[in-house]
Amino acid sequence: MDLYFMGTNAGVPSLERNVTSLALRLFDERRSFWLFDCGEATQHQILRSPLKLSKLEFIFITHLHGDHLFGLPGLLSSRAYQGGDTPLVLFGPPGVKRFVNTVLELSESRINYKLEIVEHEGGSLFEDASFRVESAKLDHRIDSYGYRIVEKSQPGKLNQELLAKHGISPGPLYGQLKRGESIRTSDGTILRPEDVLGEPKRGRIVTILGDTRPCPAEHPLADRADVLVHEATFMHDLAETAYTYHHSTARQAAEVAKQSECKSLYLTHFSSRYKYEHQLQQLLSEAREVFPDSYLAQEHELYPVLRGE
């Protein structure tokens, strides 16, 4: 599981940074990736990345501002030309279906794969045997949502030495134990999963928030997350400006990470006024005064999501 940023600027792109887009790469877990927001030129950024649109499984849109959305029609249209024929599910706020359908209809674009568009207003969005995705509304000028991706805990390691003593070799019975089912040995002994499995591997939690002022809804989404991705549009000397435009400062992002007991914080969505690296480093320094495990999101770099204790 890795994060891969393809856009970290707020509002408008610059020569160095594109507008918002972030991939959660799940190649080991699902042989796919999930996309969070799709600002203009996201498909160009994907061409420069280790990602392939044919492996795109889900898209999550945080809100309908253009710097988070305007790359969506082109990407959806291009996916088929890059081998994407598997179903694709798009989650987003009310209105995203009308936006996509209108653009595709007026441009007479044809999509030869199944596209499902799920409009939501928060709550539980997706769950299978491996992952759960939850959402909640934040505090922005228009409805903006955060997403909490929870990897379910995995069974611990089987005690193969103990199983061998009971005459159990690798095979279907191993699978039953890992699924939480008891088995009966050839001599009639009942082996329960807890008898032969080590401690479960804790699943990882990734929280990706849309544009927002500081608000109570952030904390349940970010609670003990291994990674929190939070906007840091301004430095704290512009806290009033941030409040007026429904954004957050780097310090406020760090406060959320600290209060929610996150493991790490990635800052993104930087105002275009911060053009130079030394200005961005000031944002980082401001955050690290509150939460030392803060990092600036850099485009076209992989950030592994490590398993916490």
- Dihedrals φ, ψ of 78, to 5°? -75, -25
pLDDT score recorded for residue 165? 79
Question: Going from the N-terminus, what domains does the chain have, and what CATH number goes with each?
Answer: 2-154+201-304 (3.60.15.10), 160-196 (no CATH)
pLDDT in tens, 42-86: 999 999 999 999 999 999 999 999 999 999 999 999 998 888 899
Choose the catalytic residue: 67, 128, 139, 195: 67
pLDDT in tens, 138-180: 999 999 999 999 999 877 788 888 888 778 788 888 878 877 7
Q: Is 68 annotated as a binding residue?
A: yes
- Strand ranges (DSSP E) for 76-127? 88-92, 115-119, 123-127
Q: Compute the 3-state secondary structure of the chain and give helix, strand, coil in percent, each to the nearest 5.
A: 30, 30, 45
- pTM, whole model, 2 decimals? 0.89
2, 302 in Cβ contact below 8 A? yes
Q: Is 247 annotated as a binding residue?
A: no
pLDDT score recorded for residue 180? 77
pLDDT surpasses 90 at 186? no
Q: Is 293 annotated as a binding residue?
A: no
- Give the model's confidence band at 309: pLDDT under 50 very low, under 70 low, under 90 confident, else very high: low
Token pair, residue 238, equals 């512009």
SS3 label, residue 19 = strand
- Cα three-residue angle 39-267-56, rounded to 5 degrees: 40
- As a whole number, mean pLDDT of residues 89-95 equals 98
- Give the model's confidence band at 288: pLDDT under 50 very low, under 70 low, under 90 confident, else very high: very high
Which range among 134-148, 168-182, 257-271, 294-308 shows the weakest confidence by mean pLDDT? 168-182
Beta-carbon neighbour count of residue 5 at 10 Å? 25
The alpha carbon of residue 224 and the mean position of all alpha carbons in its chain are separated, in whole angstroms, by 15
pLDDT score recorded for residue 235? 97
* Residue 67 appears among annotated catalytic residues: yes
Q: Is 195 annotated as a binding residue?
A: no
Q: Is 187 annotated as a binding residue?
A: no
Q: Is 44 annotated as a binding residue?
A: no
Distances (CA, A) of 184 to 142, 193, 263: 58, 11, 42
- Name which of 12, 16, 45, 40 is nearest 275 in CA terms: 16
